[in-house]
Chains A and B, each alone.
Chain A
Amino acid sequence: MQQQETADNDGARVRAWRHRNREPIEAWTILTPALIYYTIFFALPVLATIILSFTHWSGMSGGPEWVGLDNFRRYLTNSIYLQVIGNTLAFAVIILAAQMLLAVLVALMLNRKIRGRSVFRAAWYIPSLTSPVVMALIALTMISPVDGVINMLLKQADLPPVIFYLRVDLMWLVIIIFSVWRGVGSGVILYLAALQGIHPELYEAARVDGASPARILRHVTLPLLKPVTIFVLVTGIIGSAQIFEAVLFLSRGGPGNQTNVMMLQIYQDIFTNADIGMASAGSVILGVMLLTFAIINLRAMSRGYTGS
């Protein structure tokens, strides 16, 4: 701050005010543009999507036409859309359960004093960094109908070829394996961190009391993993309910509509059906579902952290 010799009364008062309110001034200098931007690129789009979900609109020409709850009624009564919701939930639950089970097992193994731990850890975590778009190419090379790896092996064993795209069960399996492969890594790291945070004295005490390894696992280790389990559940269900790329690339929702999921349906409503209203309604329904998961889990989490 420069002191001016001919400071008149007003100037001094302004400077004093600025000095006294330095923190609010600086805060609002930073926050005003950020909040304007945030309102334009977050709050308004959310509001707009909600409004659009009550309209019919092709998105191309003309304007949206108000239809009330029509889109939501269609979403919750049409058998195709209902199947899409059911598939999404089923995929989310199966993938998450498989990931968590695998993650606990691998973390328990990695928690032992074992050579090359960081190599194993890398092998389990690196898939989580890969791009689903890019890795889908490998999966497609495996399941290609004629010259895919699996069909080549079947041919060498004199077995009839399998056309994956026509088999509902196999497409579910492929999508689940692909998603678990890409998603299990962070669970492994989280469980491993939690295991390493358990005080060695607890094990010591249990062992002195004559507990078998199985009993220690059941009564010491697993209860102490509860908080991290709840965290993995919270973030995991929200992530796996937004399953998209795996289905888009590997099955495109087929055969029929049997592996279709909400995210893919939303994009198909935009691109194939030119129905922004239904796409918006789908977004709102998915958003409400995820919000419900988040709230339920946040409650469980605050209990989990303080409870045990």
Chain B
Amino acid sequence: MKPLPNKAAGKLVNLGVFTLLVLSSLLMAYPLIFAMLGSLGTTEDFLRTPWLPIPFSPSLTAYEEVFNSRSSEMLNWLVNTLVRTAWYIVIPGTLAVLIGYAVAKLRFRGRDAVFLYILSSLVLPGIVINIATFVMMARFPLAGGNNLFGQGGTGFLNRWPALLLPGLVNAYFIFLFRQTFVTIPKDFEEAARVDGAGTLRCLITIYLPMLTPVLTVFVVFQFVAMWNDYVWPLLVSYSNPAIWVLSVGFQFMTGSGNLTGIPSTVSFSPFGLAATVVATIPLVALYLSLQNYFIEGVAGFAIKG
């Protein structure tokens, strides 16, 4: 790069930009800084400097409470969330790779029609199917006391299948994998087939290694989406705390939400802030360990979309 016409002016601008970035970044991080400081302190710390509750004698009592108190089943919710997240990474991931391969690499009649049919869900918001899917779960034949016509019981409501059945064929990720398969020449596969490899072998030994970047993008985005998923789990597990996921349990435990009535009044509480930190740390850790994949993934959607 050539030196700027006026080097001193350029340096001054850079200093100004740097200061602005520091201040704005602190502002962006403020809610999380507030939560971290508050979770280690007491109400007295909060009363002293409400906007930044600096803990004078930091303690982990609030965290102990989050994992041990009777009002919190944090461990249970974490396990439920992890199980559900793993399920929604493994099954939709496998399906998206297989379907992406089929519509990108296999020749058969009706291929474009199938691909378009699946893509059509990309343009419709999730809300359009939530209500009917909810009714379907409640009226599922021969489940939860229902008869063959879905009457008489509660179906899959408040039971695990309702948390695991919808959304396994994900058009977004099928599109993502299909686009990647298209860029890989078929020569590799054909060479392996000459050596006697079947389709499954080709997928696992040839394509999977080449899909690693896009697979990583898929895993991190799906992890974040499922970790934060709230509306559907709330709808279908409302009356069964044993199967609540983190977001639903968190909301009831901290009293931060309900679907009716006036908004909750939330007082400063190290307990709630500790729960906030516990719920957020995995996401921040995921970002920090895979930040380049996040950047690539977000930017990649723009280029491919």
List A residues at the B interface (Cβ < 8 Å).
Answer: 23-24, 26-28, 30-31, 34-35, 37-38, 41-42, 44-49, 52, 59, 106, 109-110, 112-115, 118-127, 129-141, 144-149, 152-153, 156, 165, 181, 186, 189-190, 193-194, 200, 204, 207, 228, 231-232, 234-235, 238, 242, 244-245, 248-252, 254, 263, 266-268, 270-272, 276, 279-280, 283-284, 286-287, 290-291, 294
Q: Is the CB of B127 within 8 A of A266?
A: yes
What mask results when residues 129 to 164 of chain B are scored 1 for a CB within 8 Å of chain A, else 0? 111111110000000000000000000000000000
Contacts of B101 in A (CB 8 A): 30
B contact residues, total (Cβ < 8 Å): 95
List B residues at the A interface (Cβ < 8 Å).
Answer: 1-2, 14, 17-18, 20-22, 24-26, 28-29, 31-32, 34-35, 38, 47, 50-51, 95, 98-99, 101-103, 106-109, 111, 114, 117-118, 121, 123-125, 127-136, 165-169, 199, 224, 227-228, 230-231, 246-247, 250-251, 254, 256-257, 259-268, 272-273, 275-276, 279-280, 283-284, 286-288, 291, 294-295, 298-299, 302, 305
- Nearest-neighbor residue (CB-CB) of B288 within chain A: A122
Contacts of B262 in A (CB 8 A): 165, 252, 254
Q: Assuming A31-B99, A133-B256, is B28 touching A123 (CB within 8 A)?
A: yes
Q: Assuming A45-B129, A248-B257, is B230 touching A27 (CB within 8 A)?
A: no
Q: Is the CB of B133 within 8 A of A132?
A: no
Contact among B129, B261, B264, B294 for A42, CB-based, below 8 A: B129
Q: Is the CB of A280 within 8 A of B131?
A: yes
Contact among A135, A137, A244 for B266, CB-based, below 8 A: A137
Contacts of B95 in A (CB 8 A): 34
Q: Is the CB of A291 within 8 A of B276?
A: no
Contact among A52, A110, A134, A290 for B21, CB-based, below 8 A: A110
> CA–CA, A42 to B169, complex, Å?
9
> CA–CA, A18 to B284, complex, Å?
51
Q: Is the CB of B265 within 8 A of A144?
A: yes
Q: Is the CB of A112 within 8 A of B276?
A: no
Contacts of A30 in B (CB 8 A): 98-99, 101-102
Residue among B28, B118, B224 with max Cβ neighbours from chain A (10 Å)? B28
Contact among B22, B99, B131, B166 for A52, CB-based, below 8 A: B131
Contacts of A130 in B (CB 8 A): 32, 228, 280, 283
Q: Is the CB of A122 within 8 A of B199?
A: no
Would you give the shortest CB distance from B173 to chain A, in whole angstroms? 13
Given contacts A38-B121, A193-B299, 20 further A-B contacts (CB under 8 A): A24-B109, A37-B168, A42-B129, A44-B136, A46-B132, A49-B129, A49-B131, A121-B291, A123-B26, A124-B28, A126-B28, A129-B284, A131-B250, A144-B267, A152-B50, A189-B298, A231-B302, A235-B305, A266-B131, A286-B128
Contacts of B272 in A (CB 8 A): 137, 141
Q: Is the CB of B118 within 8 A of A287?
A: no
Q: Is the CB of A149 within 8 A of B51?
A: yes
Q: Is the CB of B227 within 8 A of A131?
A: yes
Contacts of A190 in B (CB 8 A): 298-299, 302
> CA–CA, A207 to B227, complex, Å?
48
Would you give the shortest CB distance from A295 to chain B, in whole angstroms? 8
- Nearest-neighbor residue (CB-CB) of B43 within chain A: A147
Q: Assuming A23-B106, A137-B254, A138-B34, is B128 touching A132 (CB within 8 A)?
A: no
Q: Is the CB of A23 within 8 A of B131?
A: no
- Nearest-neighbor residue (CB-CB) of A117 within chain B: B21
Contact among A112, A127, A186 for B14, CB-based, below 8 A: A112
Contacts of A146 in B (CB 8 A): 265
> CA–CA, A234 to B298, complex, Å?
14
Q: Is the CB of B280 within 8 A of A131?
A: yes
